[in-house]
Amino acid sequence: MADRRLLYGGGGSNMSSVFFQNQRGPSSSSSSSSEPRDSLFIPGSSSSFLGPRSMVSFEDVNGRNRSKRSFFCSFEQEENGEEDLDEYFHHPEKKRRLTTDQVRFLEKSFEVENKLEPERKIQLAKDLGLQPRQIAIWFQNRRARWKTKHLEKENESLQASYSSLRADYDSLVKEKEKLKAEVLHLTEMLLLKEKEKANLELSDTTKLSEAYPKEPIGDLISEDEVSKVSVVACKQEDSSAKSDVFDSDSPHYTDGVHSSVLEPCDSSYIFEPDQSDISQEEEDKLNNSLLPPPAYEFLKIDGAHYFDPSSNSCDFGFPVEDQAFNNFWTY
């Protein structure tokens, strides 16, 4: 480390190069920075160390006073005349910025290759009349700036990508909610339809039981029909409960959007026929025949399953939230 600092202080490069690039026309400035630039400077004879102010030169090879400054310095500073020169040498500790042309030159070189091989560093230092150490520092700082900008761009790109994905996600969520509502509506329609259908069948069954009072009802109707009767009984028993289904208090409904539609169906929901018309024995038979089948059958409507058949619980396979709808789509 200390050695490097010493290198900076004692830089062995020739600091007295005089540049004439500006007098060679535009083509010279556009030449590739990776090319040797020997033709663009005149090696000076002085080897005296000028530190950071090394861009200043006094003599050309022949010892003649060609310019008080390097080519680059002359661009911006020659109009300041002697005062500027005084400042230059009376305050040698001051930091001085590179000239615009030096920076342009370095930028072009950086575009070609952002890493600096020792030979290139020496060459650039010669071309620009700077210390190799200054060239190295400039490239180092330039790489840091490039990295910062690159990270900023990357960040912007990621943010744009995130915004786009977020918008997609939001629209999908809206679409999902819309579809949920549609499914809910259609399910209710189907239930109503089934209810009406079951009502008709129920009235037929009642007529049959009146016509054949000794026969158990279970023998007269299919198991499937019994199921339907049961669920309809449930719904009829507590038609007002339907409003409760949509209440947030319902334990089977949690998110305020989804509805499990059906309420738990315990034995109290079972259809109870008019006891005045049926004997105790018959009543028992009837009750047995009307015991609720597995819950999943309750909604076996028109051959389509709507709830989890593996679940016998009265929540009809509706856990909380979206899983209910996953079940919808899987059946």
Across the chain, how many H-helices and E-strands are there? 12, 2
Task: Pick the closer one to DNA by CB: 96 or 242.
Answer: 96
By CB under 7 A, residue 90 contacts DNA: no
Closest contact distance (angstroms) between CB of 97 and DNA is 4
Tokens 């009146």 label which residue? 210
Task: Pick the closer one to DNA by CB: 66 or 104.
Answer: 104
Stretch that binds DNA, among 27-35, 39-47, 128-136, 208-216 (CB under 7 A): 128-136
Given a contact cutoff of 8 angstroms between Cβ atoms, the answer to whether 225 and 232 are in contact is no
Q: Of 49, 52, 85, 238, which lies in the binding site for DNA, with binding defined by CB under 7 A?
A: 52
Q: Which two tokens stand for residue 307?
A: 């709830």
Q: Which two tokens stand for residue 56?
A: 């200043």
Q: Which two tokens stand for residue 258?
A: 């989804």
By CB under 7 A, residue 4 contacts DNA: yes
By CB under 7 A, residue 136 contacts DNA: yes
Residue type, 269: Y
Dist. CA 51–CA 53, nearest whole Å: 5
5-24 residues near DNA, rule: CB under 7 A: 5, 8
Stretch that binds DNA, among 30-38, 94-102, 268-276, 310-318 (CB under 7 A): 94-102
Closest contact distance (angstroms) between CB of 6 and DNA is 9
Q: Which two tokens stand for residue 86?
A: 């005084």
Closest contact distance (angstroms) between CB of 72 and DNA is 11
Q: Which two tokens stand for residue 253?
A: 């409904």
Binding mask 138-157 for DNA (x = CB under 7 A): xxxx-xxx-x----------
Q: Of 3, 83, 249, 302, which lies in the binding site for DNA, with binding defined by CB under 7 A?
A: 3
By CB under 7 A, residue 56 contacts DNA: no
Q: Which two tokens stand for residue 286?
A: 């009837």
Task: Pick the closer one to DNA by CB: 118 or 256.
Answer: 118
Given a contact cutoff of 8 angstroms between Cβ atoms, the answer to whether 105 and 28 are in contact is no
Stretch that binds DNA, among 78-86, 111-119, 270-278, 321-329 (CB under 7 A): 111-119
106 Cβ partners below 8 Å, 6+ apart? Answer: 98, 124, 128, 135, 138, 139, 142
The 3-state DSSP class for residue 85 equals helix
Given a contact cutoff of 8 angstroms between Cβ atoms, the answer to whether 76 and 99 are in contact is yes
Residues that bind DNA (CB under 7 A): 1, 3-5, 8, 52, 91, 94-98, 103, 115-116, 118, 133-134, 136-141, 143-145, 147
